[in-house]
Structure 1
Amino acid sequence: MTEHILDELAWRGLISQTTGEEELRAHLDEGPITLYCGFDPTAPSLHIGNLVQILTVRRFQMAGHKPLALVGGATGLIGDPKMAGERTLNPVETVHQWVERIRGQIEPFLSFEGDNAARMVNNYDWTKDMTAIELLRDVGKYFRLGTMISKDTVARRLHSDEGISYTEFSYQLLQGMDFLEQFRRYGCTLQTGGSDQWGNLTSGTELIRKAEGRTAHALSTPLITKADGTKFGKTESGTVWLDPEMTSPYAFYQFWLNQSDADVVGYLKVFTFLSREQIGELEHRVEHEPFKREAQRTLAREVTTLVHGAAAAQGAVDASQALFGRGDLDSLDAVTLAGCAKELGGVEGPSGISVADALVETSIVSSKSAARRAIQEGGAYVNNVKIDDADAVLATGDALAGGWTVLRRGKKTVGLFRQV
């Protein structure tokens, strides 16, 4: 018997709040429903926090339900309130470009065929011709100021030094209207989103109740955190994006590979479609053979394959091994090496540079004397070949695809250098 979608979500740690779990369960049991999740184009790419929502919607579709993925061409022009500070209002043309980019990132995760085919929607379609008077008369009349002010993000901003603009304050009207519009157009009865969106989610259910006299549902997922309390989805170089031009597949793979034993099982549940049995086996190996890091390697490959495809994932695996002397560097293409250089802080410098100077330039060692000592002690490598001459020059012919040369000290300290 197929597991109920709510039971699966609960096991994966993907339920934070609902408007009533038993009522939602009964509604889902009545037959396939239509649900939606919204994604605002506030950047040229989605990030791995958004991936939680994309995969949650996909899980509902796999359970037989029909998803609507809304990219907010209208709400992206406004911006929902942040915990602190006003959002930057981006030009209309920029937001429209980002809408198309984000659509392209979401579509591969959903099926657009069959009885429960997904549909992409844009709230700009039903807001672009609406006047302010129509918004106030047809939507605003159902909202109570006390309720709007009491929403967590709004309340926090009202009591802060920067306050909150009417633009951001009005966001919940627009998101509530989105749910009502999709209820009317497509029979949509469930909205999903992150727990930080709970106030906006319930704005929609309340609007449907007041305007239509009908019941709609909302379900939020927890914000993903790390066991040590630090922020998830950030690296030293910044946000982990889904766009390969903004976060290379190699860097993306490394992010997941570097997760701690305390976090990895939870992330396997949230970010992969592995079964309970498979994740249970990996959890056992974390407990009994943590040094093998099999759970981390599985997580990294699974999520990189989901987002970037099997070929890019294999390229990231190959690069991860080759850079540290366990694979063939010549097999890596220019795009993969460029991603490695970006992640590792690749350096460009003059042609004819000595290996010792290149080791310093890439910060593998702190001084030229330390570089010469590393070479003399047999701990320096160029493209995984040991260098024993302290006066050796980095030959142009040593370059790999894209002109990069891989320098390494010992087993773990790696840098990339390109002669220009």
Structure 2
Amino acid sequence: MVDKRRSVVLADVDSMYVSAERIFNVGLNRRPVVVLSNNDGCVVARSKEAKALEIGMGEPWFKVRTRPSCRDVVALSSNYELYGDFSSRLATLCGQLAPRVEPYSIDECFLEFPAGEALDAAVCARERSARWLGLPVTVGIGRTKTLAKIATNHAKDSGIGVFSIDALSRAERAELLASIPVGEVWGIGGRLSARLAAHGVTTAKALADLDPGWVRRAYTIVVERTVRELQGVSCIPLTEQPAPRRSIMHCRHLGQPATKQDEVAAAASAFAQAVSAKLRRLDLAVPAVTVMLSTGGFGTGPPHHAQATQGFPVPLNAAGQLATTAARLARGAWRPGHRYKRVGVLASDLVQARRAQSLWPDDPRHDKLAAVLDTITARHGRDLAGYGRSGIRGPSGWDWRMRQEMRTPRFTTRWDELPVVS
């Protein structure tokens, strides 16, 4: 039975990364713009003008920039602090409009309204986002999260700002679902769509017409939920509180390959300090830490992948202890003759810090030093201070930090990078 008492609204920022960049540089408007991945490697975001040039998601930038048709494309390094800040602002804006909000990803928010209020609220969310944040938002409305996803995608494809699938007649909705390949339905990927095609299910409409009980027996309860959602029965509720974090990983491609033991140790130490900052911000502690080294899949040297783990007598989150441990593990995993391109630090099986107890209390100086470091880095950035040389510079001038030669300023999160109006 279709629930007519509520509607789900999905606010989706159009080309989030590019749109955030255009807020502070109007010269990028109506120009083909791409945002690149770590170390300026591959395309991870495209403006609609860049999509029109057939620039694919994940394409290496060194190949794209050599095409004659892409001569005027503007490439920018990823500015994750800026994008994350605007994502938080969007979630705050949505929270002022709706009684229930679920930030789903960096560029999407689900909202829930009484059915009669959804359309007006969707229009308001779109207008406020453009006026208050400068972000262009497309909004879809449906009885369920899956239908809201379909509505949002249709609104983007058709160029309309707000679209309600609930406003369609039964025949119009069937026609819309019949035009959508089953692989484009939220929760149905390439592998599942191939299995469904073997049963003659190639469109969203064909999926919606299936018997949910048969789907559960033939596939999984997850696919059954998708079928019921397409039929208008809500099976995926909004999650207002995120699930407890079970792990935190800080993993990066290095700006320069690491060949020396001190180099991998410095990178691992710096990444462990970043993990510590997240743990302390979330009031979490970790009982064990893992360090991973990899040469990656490129280069002419022999491949090598290694990892090492160490547990602690009591879960901890102090930067100094984690940094020292990570550096020692990296030194042990390092092998001569390799060019390491990727280093990662993983904190898993996280627990609440206040629940971590020990018969032998830890040295309180660790927490005091970590608190001082948190204060310094929050105010002045991570590059100003750190344990050993990891927070300032690498050994012998070697720099592990990512290449971000085309990164714009972090206008909204760094005092020294605030925009100046002259």
What's the TM-score, normalizing by structure 2?
A: 0.25
| Higher relative contact order, chain-length normalized (CA < 8 Å, sep 6+) | 2
Q: Which structure shows the bigger proportion of residues in helix conformation?
A: 1
The structure in which a higher percent of residues are strand is 2
